[in-house]
């Protein structure tokens, strides 16, 4: 189940409800904060349910919306935002639990291009805001940009959040590595790296709470990034240790003539930077890295012209799940984590019963 970042639904049954399901990384968390900030400006009485998860598979998305719709009645005055991740499966949408409310999907992943839903009637009333050239955070900010014309308070909020959204657009390693050496780009890179450090060290809940709590500050940008930059050293020490571990445990696999490295035991929060360091290491000479996770998922990283979004998509379909993402960073599920948990519990209980009679 996705983590609950904010839940004020009990505050009022009559007030409009805003439901947000977002990706659990920095991009998704900043996107969620932006939505809440502008929605509250429009009506301070609105109630919120904000949930995040790093698992963006259709299976997890469907389960999360099963939970949401079981306990929340949604109508025409309410809004559902799905940020930095796919909408529920077509099969789930056909049940029409979201048919009578406003659904907005803001995303930038190649495998979630809105054109794939053009022939699905159940998706006709979903507002898609998609661009694979921008981050989800910046797309979310742009979604609310028309409100600037409606009042000075919206303009001030946009200007306050733009530096964070801009830096979040560069927070992934594929972007900040390509920034130049101008003063503006150096500052942007420094901020982007600090976002990465903060999100990994703090975790999703604390990261989201901090960027939300500071919204009333007059010096929002300075206070946020000054704090984030304090976490850089701790993050860098963590990365050094994990990289040494990765080099010790990596195993080789030949994929269509490409050298693929397989690693088990690296937390998802650190896979992008570890994958990049491995791909950059000329002595190791890997073109693809696959991280196998305890949650039953696989995360791919690649270099050159190798499109791992297609690999993840095909692998997910082959084993009965979903997959996809970006050209050089994608993932899929290959095992049911509930089944894995059940098996571990069975082994534990069976073994404990044996111990009792020894």
Residues with Cβ within 8 Å of residue 279, at least 6 apart in sequence: 286, 287, 289, 301, 302, 303
Q: Using pLDDT thresholds of 50, 70 and 90, give the confidence band for residue 250.
A: very high
CA angle 102, 33, 147 (to 5 degrees): 60
The stretch 35-53 carries a mean pLDDT of: 97
Q: Using pLDDT thresholds of 50, 70 and 90, give the confidence band for residue 341.
A: confident
Would you state the pLDDT for residue 20? 98
For the segment 71-88, what is each residue's pLDDT rounded down to a tens digit? 999 999 999 999 999 999
- Average pLDDT of the chain is 93
The stretch 217-227 carries a mean pLDDT of: 96
Would you state the pLDDT for residue 358? 66
Beta sheet of 251-255, edge-to-edge order = 251-255, 258-264, 288-292, 297-302, 329-333, 323-325
The stretch 214-233 carries a mean pLDDT of: 95
DSSP 211: H
The full DSSP string for 282-347 is TTT--SEEEEE-TTSEEEEEE-TT--HHHHHHHHHHHTTS-EEE-SSEEEEE-S-HHHHHHHHHHH
In the chain, pLDDT over 90 holds for what percent of residues? 75
For the segment 107-144, what is each residue's pLDDT rounded down to a tens digit? 999 888 999 898 899 998 999 999 998 999 999 999 99
Domains for the chain: give ranges and CATH numbers: 3-230 (3.90.1640), 242-338 (3.10.310.30)
């Amino acid at each position: 189940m996705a983590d609950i970042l904010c839940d004020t639904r009990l505050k009022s049954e009559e007030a409009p409800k805003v439901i947000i399901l977002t990706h659990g990384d920095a991009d998704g968390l900043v996107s969620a904060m932006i939505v809440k900030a502008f929605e509250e400006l429009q009506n301070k009485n609105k109630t919120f349910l904000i949930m995040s998860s790093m698992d963006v598979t259709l299976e997890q998305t469907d389960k999360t919306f099963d939970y949401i719709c079981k306990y929340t009645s949604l109508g025409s005055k309410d809004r559902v935002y799905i940020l930095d991740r796919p909408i529920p499966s077509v099969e789930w949408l056909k049940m029409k639990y979201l048919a009578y409310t406003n659904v907005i999907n803001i995303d930038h992943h190649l495998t979630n291009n809105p054109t794939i839903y053009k022939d699905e009637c159940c998706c006709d009333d979903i507002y898609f805001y998609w661009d694979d050239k921008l981050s989800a955070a910046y797309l979310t900010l742009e979604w609310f940009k028309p409100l600037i014309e409606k009042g000075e308070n919206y303009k001030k909020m946009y200007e306050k959040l733009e530096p964070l959204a801009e830096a979040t657009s560069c927070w992934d390693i594929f972007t900040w590595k390509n920034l130049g050496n101008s003063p503006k780009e150096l500052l942007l890179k420094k901020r982007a790296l600090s976002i990465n450090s903060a999100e990994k060290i703090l975790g999703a809940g604390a990261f989201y709470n901090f960027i939300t709590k500071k919204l009333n500050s007059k010096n929002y940008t300075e206070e946020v990034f000054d704090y984030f930059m304090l976490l850089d050293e701790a993050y860098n020490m963590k990365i050094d240790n994990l990289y040494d571990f990765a080099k010790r445990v990596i195993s080789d696999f030949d994929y269509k003539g490409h050298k693929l490295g397989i690693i088990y035991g690296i937390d998802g929060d650190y896979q992008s930077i570890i994958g990049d360091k491995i791909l950059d290491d000329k002595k190791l000479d890997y073109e693809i890295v696959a991280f196998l996770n305890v949650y039953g998922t696989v995360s791919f990283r690649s270099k050159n012209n190798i499109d791992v979004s297609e690999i993840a998509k095909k692998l997910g379909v082959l084993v009965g799940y979903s997959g996809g993402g970006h050209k050089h960073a994608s993932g899929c599920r290959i095992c049911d984590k509930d089944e894995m948990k059940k098996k571990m519990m069975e082994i534990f209980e069976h073994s404990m019963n044996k111990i009792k009679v020894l």
